[in-house]
A and B are shown apart, each in its own frame.
Chain A
């Protein structure tokens, strides 16, 4: 009886063996395409990088109708200032943009960690706080200001896709 049970168990175990499933990760999503379109600013935080607790202040009330548009054909951006009521614009009204990988020190559209905005020969680098894909409706950017190469203050912008 025990031998019969062992035999049945062996058959069940053997039948459960299968070839491993090899999934396909697919190609990395197109980060340039993910940026395409208009984004409205939902939330702005100012972080005191010198404060022991990195204290944050919400500046969202100062920003209304702050909309930035990224064009993927011309690789240009512009800020819709027609309805802009207030809010300091550190980005510039229009210019060129590109994605950048600070570790590879080159423009990189596959694994970017920064977006570079060029306006009147001035380049502003913003950190991408989270990678944005075409499925994401949020774009989170951080603008860092330094004093003598030391972090002083940073601004975190949370945009929503329009």
Chain B
């Protein structure tokens, strides 16, 4: 019974998602990568009776105002900008789309893009007058919330701006790792086991306002650390490691000494003697500490 209810819920959710006239792909959406903005004119919530006869000779155009007006401009209502012409989906002629990189297309930063979301409608070249969709060549207004992906870069810091006594979490998206001895896809191709919880440690080195450098352990000795203080947790489902710490508690700082930056490297828990560096450690990445 429970399974039937869950199945019905799943079907309802799918139905709800795929019955929307306006949607974007992919979701979650990286606003710095290509996003496809779609409209299905056959869906009732398109409210676009005058767009049903749209063809490649009489195409549809995007008309958008959030997160900002497109950098090329919407054009005028009776003559849309040609650069905003949409493409008809070959497999389903009711679907029209345009591919954009949101931050470039709207000339906004990431923050503005996610804060404002997308607001747009689709129309014919000449939108006509009249005041309602029965008279005008346009759809209703669509509002789309942009959902950011959890971590698309190799390393993602949380928070982005932190002080040395803040909790600081590093997300290590190992699928984005360029080192083939760490990247799970490369390891799988080479018939090697992918790295899991306990296979790697985090090496932390800091530079301070007094010109001192501290590290949690020499890199080539990290495999000897038996406790789990520097072993990141692993999310097997989403294939990322994460490690949380308070920077000033890791290092033995002088009373007025301030951490300027932290360098992060991941180390395989193996004896590195005689091995090339790339076999046992990743590239180092630096994170600034403080308001700068």
The answer to whether A binds B is yes
Q: By the criterion CB–CB under 8 Å, are A57 and B291 in contact? A: no
Q: By the criterion CB–CB under 8 Å, are B167 and A51 in contact? A: no
Minimum Cβ distance to chain B for residue A149 (Å)? 10
| Closest partner residue, chain A, to B146 (CB atom) | A52
In the assembled complex, B223 has its CB within 8 A of some CB on chain A: no
Q: By the criterion CB–CB under 8 Å, are A59 and B291 in contact? A: no
Cβ proximity bits B160-179 to A, threshold 8 Å, 1 near / 0 not: 11110111010000000000
Q: By the criterion CB–CB under 8 Å, are B162 and A52 in contact? A: no
A39-80 contacts to B, CB under 8 A, are 46-53, 55, 57, 59, 62
- What CA separation (Å) do A51 and B291 show in the bound complex? 15
Minimum Cβ distance to chain B for residue A95 (Å)? 18
User: A residues within 8 A CB of B169?
Assistant: 57
| Closest partner residue, chain A, to B112 (CB atom) | A52
User: A residues within 8 A CB of B244?
Assistant: 57, 59, 62
| Contact for B115 among A46, A52, A57, CB less than 8 A | A52
In the assembled complex, A17 has its CB within 8 A of some CB on chain B: no
- What CA separation (Å) do A52 and B113 show in the bound complex? 8
Contact A148 to B158, CB < 8 A, known contacts A53-B114, A62-B167, A153-B166: no
Contact A51 to B147, CB < 8 A, known contacts A57-B244, A62-B167, A147-B291: no
User: A residues within 8 A CB of B115?
Assistant: 52
In the assembled complex, B110 has its CB within 8 A of some CB on chain A: yes
User: A residues within 8 A CB of B114?
Assistant: 52-53
| Contact for B159 among A49, A52, A53, CB less than 8 A | A49
B110-143 contacts to A, CB under 8 A, are 110-111, 113-115
| Chain A interface bracket (under 10, 10 to 19, 20 to 34, 35 or more) | 10 to 19
Q: By the criterion CB–CB under 8 Å, are B160 and A51 in contact? A: yes
In the assembled complex, A152 has its CB within 8 A of some CB on chain B: yes
Q: By the criterion CB–CB under 8 Å, are A145 and B166 in contact? A: yes
Minimum Cβ distance to chain B for residue A120 (Å)? 15
In the assembled complex, B225 has its CB within 8 A of some CB on chain A: no
Q: By the criterion CB–CB under 8 Å, are B159 and A152 in contact? A: yes
In the assembled complex, A88 has its CB within 8 A of some CB on chain B: yes
In the assembled complex, B148 has its CB within 8 A of some CB on chain A: yes
Minimum Cβ distance to chain B for residue A51 (Å)? 6
Minimum Cβ distance to chain A for residue B244 (Å)? 7
Q: By the criterion CB–CB under 8 Å, are B158 and A57 in contact? A: yes
User: A residues within 8 A CB of B160?
Assistant: 48, 50-51
Q: By the criterion CB–CB under 8 Å, are A52 and B148 in contact? A: yes
18 extra interchain contacts, Cβ-Cβ under 8 A, other than A152-B161, A153-B159?
A46-B159, A48-B158, A49-B159, A51-B158, A52-B110, A52-B111, A52-B113, A52-B114, A52-B115, A53-B114, A55-B158, A57-B167, A57-B169, A57-B244, A88-B165, A152-B159, A152-B291, A153-B162
Task: Name A's B-contacting residues (CB within 8 A).
Answer: 46-53, 55, 57, 59, 62, 88, 90, 145, 147-148, 152-153
Task: Name B's A-contacting residues (CB within 8 A).
Answer: 110-111, 113-115, 147-148, 158-163, 165-167, 169, 244, 246, 290-291
Pairs across A and B, CB under 8 Å, 22 listed:
A46-B167, A48-B159, A50-B159, A50-B160, A50-B161, A52-B110, A52-B111, A57-B244, A59-B167, A62-B167, A62-B244, A88-B165, A88-B246, A90-B165, A145-B163, A145-B166, A147-B291, A148-B291, A152-B159, A152-B162, A153-B161, A153-B166
